[in-house]
Homo-oligomer: A and B are copies of this chain.
Amino acid sequence: MNPIIKNMTQHVSVRDFKDETLSQETKNELLLAAQSGSTSNFVQAFSIIEITDKTLRNELADITVSSPHVKKADTFYVFVADLHRQATILEKHHQSLDSLKNMESLFVSTIDTTIAAENMAIAAESMGLGICFVGSIRNNIQQVADLLQLPELTVPLFGMTIGVPGIKNAPKPRMPKKNYVSKNAYDADSFNDLSEYDTTIKEYYANRETRKQDATWSDKNLDFFKEIHRPDVAEFVKNQGFTLE
């Protein structure tokens, strides 16, 4: 296994950062890595907003609730799925924006943005930095859009904290191959045969250093999805101009 892949297999989300500052050169490399990935039809449908203002950072951290590292991390980026550039170009030429508003275009911009973010994550980890995706900005996605003054056809998908890692957990065991890889057709029987993996996760939670618990992977999912999360996201997306059609 080469060092790049080895590095990827060591990934853990880091939520505890040392009080060290990233240089502008480091940030420039992260931003370059982010924009170097694949992009559907070269549309580059994402923007990245760095949150350097303390007040704004705290307001965003309060929205995330469970993510105090948003306040403390040296660097915090918000990743925005973004078709506003295309809207501006089309409007300038008196063209309809309908092609930007459908579900297909929302997928394109979501996928482009996530590719960019994961590139940044791997680049950061390759420098020994730690990262955490912060999906919890979607706890109040409208407020995030207001705070960042997002125009139509943009969606703030997630944030990313980046810094020099303090406490770093061991990687969590992922699903066995039989639970997520199949050949030529979806293999529901194999994917849903989670007993082996449930045992692995139960042992992992029972034996890890901190926040020990008694739960399988199935238990955790059952518990998590017992309630509906972020029911306002669809309405927000529609307010931004996407028709979800």
Contact = CB atoms under 8 A, between A and B. Distances in A.
B104 A231 contact: yes
Interface in A221-245: 221-222, 224-231, 233-234, 237, 243-245
B225 A46 contact: no
Interface string A142-155: 00000111110010
A107 B242 CA distance: 14
A164 to B, nearest CB: 16
A114 to B, nearest CB: 4
B108 A135 contact: yes
A119 to B, nearest CB: 6
A213 interface: no
10 contacts: A5-B32, A8-B37, A13-B38, A38-B121, A38-B131, A49-B185, A85-B179, A93-B222, A103-B234, A234-B243
A160 to B, nearest CB: 9
B85 A191 contact: yes
Given A9-B36, A234-B245, 19 more contacts: A5-B32, A38-B131, A41-B135, A42-B217, A47-B180, A51-B183, A52-B183, A84-B188, A85-B221, A93-B222, A102-B230, A103-B244, A104-B231, A107-B138, A110-B111, A114-B115, A114-B118, A154-B186, A234-B244
Interface in A108-131: 108, 110-111, 114-115, 117-119, 121-123, 126-127, 131
Contacts of A49: 181-186
A61 interface: no
A186 B148 contact: yes
A66 to B, nearest CB: 10
A86 interface: yes
Nearest to A90: B225
Contacts of A117: 115
A133 B48 CA distance: 22
A127 B8 CA distance: 13
Given A41-B224, A225-B95, A104 B52 contact: no
A157 B89 contact: no
Contacts of A183: 49-53
